[in-house]
Structure 1
Amino acid sequence: MSTIKKIQLGQNGPLVSKLGLGCMRMSSIWGGSAPDEKESITTINEALDHGINFLNTGDFYGAGHNEMLIGKAIKGRRDDAFISVKFGAIFHNGQWLGMDLRPIAIKNFINYSLTRLGIETIDLYQASRMDGSVPVEDIIGTVADLITEGKVRHLGVSEINADQLRKANSIYPISALEIGYSLADRQIEQELLPTAKELGINVIAFANTAEGLLSGDLKAPLAENDYRNHFSRFQGNNLVRNLEKVEILKQLAKNKGCSPTQLAIAWVKAQGDDIMPLVSMSRRSRLPENIAAMNIEFTPEEMKILNTTFATGAIQGGTYLQR
């Protein structure tokens, strides 16, 4: 059963689903127990059954657990899945230590990823961030070598700026840019998004609900142990004012007979055929709602309301997306 539209990745790349499945939440990232593995595997397989073939992971998600999980899920149906892997981030005991983007490290990372996934080639391989510690030429050149070796099919980048994107693409054609993008986080519209469009690079947009801000479920203040308390967007009066804007999203969703989360995903989808909403799920029960969001259309007036209410800078306070 295929219900999801396909888009071409890059200028001459393969067809992938317009909706991507983010697998991060199927593993423990910041410590604690992982979700039910059987349910996660079932979720991946049902996503594939519906034509969602873009599976996104990172070799550091759950210290390799996420890749092993995906490997189990796609066993016997490798051709149904397009595997996107990020590398470079170093975690220890649930704590982020930094980046390792040295060529020797990348050549080490790729072999572990291939083994955990149980595959011979990764479809899209990308540095999870470029922090200036290693020249862009070395990072891109190393992945290009992996493509020549047959270990990688397409090169991607993640969480970089417009100048870095342009430089990376001049070294080797970039197929996709993974970046946070939502009604609440529109800063990439100024330089990065136009650059990607100019270069023919697809955008894989994560954090469509802005860490749950646009879900319509949040209330101020957050619980003391909520990780989002670290971000100024979710603190004090900032959160109160931001949730006032979310009320407009909730009303529009009510009028259209859908959820605020669906509207947030649909807005990202509507920004262009070259933009893919990447939605994290760990339960199959989330699939019908998120798939249905891809069929939501906006009238010009509805789009005007959303773009005015959530204009760039309208949401007060920042998150890790603002660096």
Structure 2
Amino acid sequence: MTTITKINLGQNGPLVSKLGLGCMRMSPVWGGRAGDESESIATIHSALDAGINFLNTGDFYGAGHNELLVGKAIRGRRDNAFISVKFGAIFYNRQWLGLDLRPIAIKNFINYSLVRLGIDTIDLYQPCRLDDSVPVEDVIGTVGELIKEGKVRYLGVSEITADQLRKAHSVHPVTALEIGYSLADRQIEADLLPAAKELGIGVVAFANTAEGLLTGDIEPPLPADDYRLHFSRFQGENLVRNLEKVEWLKQMAKEKGCTPTQLAIAWVNAQGSHIMPLVSMSRRSRLPENIAAMDIAFSPEEMIALDTHFAPGATLGSTYLQR
């Protein structure tokens, strides 16, 4: 199995694996069921054994279920794991209600997270989004206070704009930006990615396969209960046209002796040494394929072809990433 290399998360930041493990799919979030707990824990253990130390969770994943699960998995292995936690999202009966980013709420959230995870310090703590409900200075300043208290090691931010990133970084140094990024979702290349690079902020890139679009496994129409039908990218003619582009990706994958999923991850990995693909999985069987993707290299001609075929805006329709 490939040995996962380590990178500094951000300029002079902590040493983490170049590939991260997203744990969200191990818990019920968007109406799905929780995965098999023993298999989920075994997946985390296998990832740690392979050198993947970056574990990403959120206090609202399964109403705390995910943190409890991660806590069980890292028991006795805390030193091998770098724990990233998102906060701020409020769900009720699995329905999104909004954000609560008040300082008093953040201080409440972290105490519950520490107990569920069974740890004393969260390595990377980040608001899941920012809005205008609470001043950025108050949100980021509160996390800065938690860092001074020793409850948090590093500040992260997630799904924000370039202006918000600059403002947050002016309040307290931001170590990492978590954001959706794939061949099908490249809008952040215009200003957010350059801003992160300029400021020396690491990028944790999730949704590398664009909610499964780039896996080559989707056949239209999607089942009526598929959550992706909420997004125009996966509806009607948009989906048909988008899957035609994926056929081209499948052909390149065949020629390179890999899967479309591996190509999608490899493309994100190739975008820079400061960018970490964050791959969600809940089964050990997915690990070898995803890890092997980190060894895939592209010729200059292949990269040009990918950038051209999946140019920004080429994928029809929107997802929640376009806000």
2: distance between equivalents of 1:183 and 1:158?
A: 19
Secondary structure of residue in 2 paired with 1:169: helix
Kindly indicate whether the alpha-carbon contact (under 8 Å) linking 2:2 and 2:291 is maintained by their aligned counterparts in 1.
no
Q: Is residue 174 of structure 1 aligned with residue 174 of structure 2? A: yes
Give the CA deviation at 1:31: 3.0
| Runs (4+) off by over 3 Å | none
Q: Could you say which residue in structure 1 is the equivalent of 2:244?
A: 244
What CA distance in whole angstroms lies between the structure 1 residues aligned with 2:62 and 2:223?
A: 25
Per-residue CA deviations over 1:196-224 (Å, capped at 9, x if unaligned) read 00000011000000000000001121122
Q: Name the structure 2 match of 1:298.
A: 298
CA drift of 1:2 comes to 7.8
Q: 1: CA distance between counterparts of 2:305 and 2:135?
A: 43
Cα deviation, residue 143, structure 1: 0.1
The answer to whether the Cα contact below 8 Å between 1:17 and 1:52 also exists between their aligned partners in 2 is yes
Tell me the secondary structure at the aligned position of residue 322 of structure 1.
Answer: coil
C-alpha separation between the residues in 2 aligned to 1:127 and 1:196? 17
In structure 2, the residue matched to 1:66 is 66
Name structure 2 gaps, 5 residues minimum.
Answer: none
Superposition deviation, residue 239 in structure 1: 0.7
For residues 99 and 225 of structure 2, the distance between their equivalents in structure 1, rounded to whole angstroms, comes to 27
How far apart are residue 30 of structure 1 and its match?
A: 2.3
Aligned partner of 2:161: which letter? N
Structure 2 distance, partners of 1:206, 1:2, is 21
- Cα deviation for residue 229 of structure 1 reads 0.9
Between the aligned partners of 1:221 and 1:62, the Cα distance in structure 2 is 28
Cα RMSD over matched residues?
A: 0.9
2:37 pairs with 1:40: no
Correspondence for 2:278: 278
The residue type equivalent to 1:301 in the other structure is E
CA contact (8 A) 1:89 1:98 kept: yes
SS at match of 1:156: strand
Q: CA deviation at 1:32?
A: 4.1
1:308-319 equivalence runs, <5 A:
308-319=308-319
User: Residues of 2 paired with 1:86 and 1:32: CA distance?
Assistant: 20
How do 1:1-323 residues align onto structure 2 when only pairs under 5 Å count? 3-323=3-323
Which string of whole-angstrom CA distances, capped at 9 and with x for unpartnered residues, describes residues 91-124 of structure 1? 1111011000000000000000000000000000
Residues in 1 aligned to 2:109 and 2:54: alpha-carbon distance in whole angstroms: 21
- Give, in whole Å, the separation in 1 of the partners of 2:310 and 2:322: 16
TM-score, with length taken from structure 1: 0.99
Query: Is the 2:24–2:58 contact (alpha carbons within 8 Å) kept by the matching residues of 1?
Result: yes
Cα distance in 1 for partners of 2:244, 2:33 equals 34
Does the CA contact (< 8 Å) of 2:205 and 2:278 recur in 1?
yes
Indicate if the aligned counterparts of 1:31 and 1:93 stay in contact, CA closer than 8 A.
no
User: Does the CA-based 8 Å contact 1:184-1:210 persist in structure 2?
Assistant: yes
> What stretches of structure 1 of length at least 5 have no aligned partner?
none
Letter in 1 for 2:177: L
Q: How many residues align?
A: 323
Residue type of the partner of 2:260? Answer: P
**Cα deviations by residue, 1:282-311 (Å, 9 ceiling, x for unpaired):** 000000000000000001111111100000
Equivalent residue letter for 2:112? Y
The amino acid that maps onto 1:38 is S
User: What amino acid maps onto 1:5 in structure 2?
Assistant: T
Q: Percent identity?
A: 79
CA contact (8 A) 1:2 1:49 kept: no
Quote the Cα distance in structure 1 between the aligned partners of 2:242 and 2:28.
29
Distance 2:72 2:320 in 1: 32
